[in-house]
A and B are shown apart, each in its own frame.
Chain A
């Protein structure tokens, strides 16, 4: 069966520091992968999606970037975090029609 791993679960980072969140998927090949952010208002905002290695689509201009170095690995990064980057970040795998989510990373920028 397919599983999705996301880490770390929580992270507290100072303003201006770099960020790297990792997501990996097991049990499938060539998955469509997504990064969402859930801010305090609870809605989910799609940040990036990837249909294959090296293929990244950005939905919203951000202080963030994403990379897909391997088929089942999706990384969310930032060179310099802003206070506004705080939130709950979710990685998802789309099995069409179902989408499955990781457990999320709570990022607090201080």
Chain B
């Protein structure tokens, strides 16, 4: 079955880079996503990448995909206190149903 795994916690200093990692098991995954959830709020789509891409960059965010190892990462450059949130990795084959990881709680320390 499908499975998406993430580490539960990550702490970084303000101004440093954050790297949040995710592994998935379904080799048929076509779309891979990163969502951000702030306290008490819904999920906000940050970015997504097609499985035929290795990298996608959008301002401070860089997504790296290693399809061979089924490993996805999200790098946040110059991490700010406003980046503190839970980050969810998700995968989908058809883009109509997503499977989510358990989320990584990112804490940005001053």
Q: Which residues of B contact A34 (CB under 8 A)?
A: 97
Query: Are B48 and A97 within 8 A (Cβ)?
Result: yes
Size class of A's contact patch?
Answer: 20 to 34
CB nearest neighbor in B for A10 = B40
Which B residues are CB-close (under 8 A) to A98?
33, 45, 48
Q: Is the CB of A99 within 8 A of B41?
A: no
- Contact present for A42 and B45 (CB under 8 Å): no
Interface size class of B (residues with CB under 8 A): 20 to 34
User: Closest chain B residue to A9 by CB distance?
Assistant: B40
Within 8 A of B (CB), among A75-110: 90, 92, 94, 96-104, 106
In chain A, what residue has the closest Cβ to B4? A43
The main secondary structure of chain B at its interface with chain A is strand
Q: Are A32 and B96 in contact (CB under 8 A)?
A: yes
User: Which of B14-22, B52-60, B66-74, B99-107 lines the interface with chain A?
Assistant: B99-107
B104: nearest chain-A partner, CB-CB: A42
A104 to B44 alpha-carbon distance, docked (Å)? 12
Asked whether any CB of chain B lies closer than 8 Å to the CB of A11, the reply is: no
B41:A43 contact, CB within 8 angstroms: no
Q: Which residue of A lies closest to B42 (CB)?
A: A101
Residue of B whose beta carbon sits closest to that of A96: B95
Evaluate whether A90 and B86 lie within 8 angstroms (CB atoms) in the complex, with A41-B102, A42-B103 already known. Answer: no
Task: Assess the A106–B48 pair: CB atoms within 8 A.
Answer: no
Contacting pair B43 A90 (CB below 8 A): yes
B100 touches A44 (CB 8 A): yes
**A46: contacting residue among B86, B97, B105, CB under 8 A:** B97
The CA-CA distance from A99 to B43 in the complex, in Å, is: 9
Asked whether A90 lies within 8 Å of B103 as measured between CB atoms, the reply is: no
Beyond A42-B86, A43-B103, A44-B88, whether A99 also contacts B98 by CB under 8 A is: yes
Q: B35 contacts which chain A residues (CB < 8 A)?
A: 101
Q: Which residues of B contact A (CB under 8 A)?
A: 31, 33, 35, 40-45, 48, 50, 86, 88, 90, 92, 94-98, 100-103, 105
